[in-house]
Amino acid sequence: MKITSIETFLAYAGRCNLLFVKIYTDEGIDGIGEATVEGKEATVESVIREYSRFLLGKNPMQIERIWQSLYVGNFWRGGVIQMSGISGIDQALWDIKGKVLGVPVYELLGGAVRDRIRCYTHLKGNTPEEMAEDAKYLVQRRWKAVKFLSAGPHEDGVIFKKEDIKKVGESIKAVREAVGDDVDIMLDNHGRFTPYEAIKVGKLVEPYKPFFFEEPVPPEDIDSMLKVSRSLIVPIATGERLYSRWEFKDLLYKHAVDIIQPDVCHAGGISEVKRIASMAEAFYIQIAPHNPLGPVSTAACVQVDATTPNFLIQEIALYDRWGAPWVKDFVKEPIVVEDGYIKLPKKPGLGVELNEEQSKSMHIKVKTCQEYIKKMVQ
């Protein structure tokens, strides 16, 4: 079996674009992957085109050999652009291998250790009251875990005012009172606090038993993350902006966090996220894969989640709540969340197929947006 061609699909998804990868073989079996990086999809697309020159004629069943060639064999390594290109290719190769052997990818990773995958999604709203109402709505739809943004972009840069920190406490209090004690609540900070601010916020929210506090400080500053972690009883999570096992290594060795969040579209694909999870298991650290992305990314995450003993919970984006209900149609028979869980797929490979016509039709909107941006810049 040989790789004959690689195609990319850049599709409009409302607040962002999604980038899908499709690898074709000479035996008529193809595989899909996702390499979405918010705001950088066209750049990643160019990286995949560059990799395609190496991949043509290669045996797609030799996944590890190809991964090593693309990463270790490359002079310029790492970074979100290159690693996202590798990630999309890696997912597609696993999809091919599963289809050839007639089994879901998780069977090739050692088999499932659970029958379903626990999930969480995101709250909407700008005030504590709005978030509390949205939390009630999601709980009515049988979600049992939700997350809200505790600190977004700020006009004063990294310095937050007292009222900003106070709002975090008011928000989690309102959400907790709205949903009760049986629903897990997470905070995502996007790495925007200083260690002092993060510790102050952590102490403020501790009474409301948050499930975890995500990226309280910049993720590249492991010592600051460790300082925050040692000062709080709230579990600390990070990892969406770390790429490959080499970037996770020191984080794990120092026990700087309780939960890691590698992204299957950014950290090196299914192959690398599985390796990162195995490394974390040795340090008694759990994994909650980052995934505010598209339906192929979700399908790839489920394969890793199913076979990972130290898996905790899976992030899922609900695009219909972001004004883009058509995103689910980018794949045929998308994976469904029921009562806050995903049942293990039984179909070979990733378990989903790309709807090329839908993806191509939404590429027109991508071009329209790009042309509009160019006019604005001019």
Which is it for strands 116-122 and 341-343: parallel, antiparallel or unpaired? antiparallel
Residue 190 annotated to the active site: yes
What the block records as the tokens of 330 is 């980018």
Catalytically annotated residue among 154, 190, 255, 363: 190
**Phi, psi dihedrals of residue 156, rounded to the nearest 5°:** -100, 20
Q: Locate tokens 């590429």: which residue?
A: 363
- Burial of 265 per CB tally in 10 Å (0-12, 13-18, 19+): buried
**Phi, psi dihedrals of residue 273, rounded to the nearest 5°:** -65, -40
Q: What angle do CA 281, 285, 289 make, to 5 degrees?
A: 90
> How many DSSP H helices and E strands does the chain contain?
12, 14
Question: Residue 192: which residues within 8 A CB-CB, separation 6 or more?
Answer: 151, 152, 153, 154, 158, 160
Per the CB < 8 A criterion, the answer to whether 67 and 268 are in contact is yes
Catalytically annotated residue among 122, 154, 266, 290: 290
Closest C-alpha among 93, 48, 109, 91 to residue 297: 91
* 172 vs 179: CA distance, rounded Å: 11
* 351 vs 345: CA distance, rounded Å: 6
Q: Locate tokens 């469904």: which residue?
A: 336
What the block records as the tokens of 257 is 């966090």
Instruction: Write the single-letter amino acid at 88.
Output: G
Q: Give the residue numbers annotated as catalytic, written as ranges.
A: 190, 290
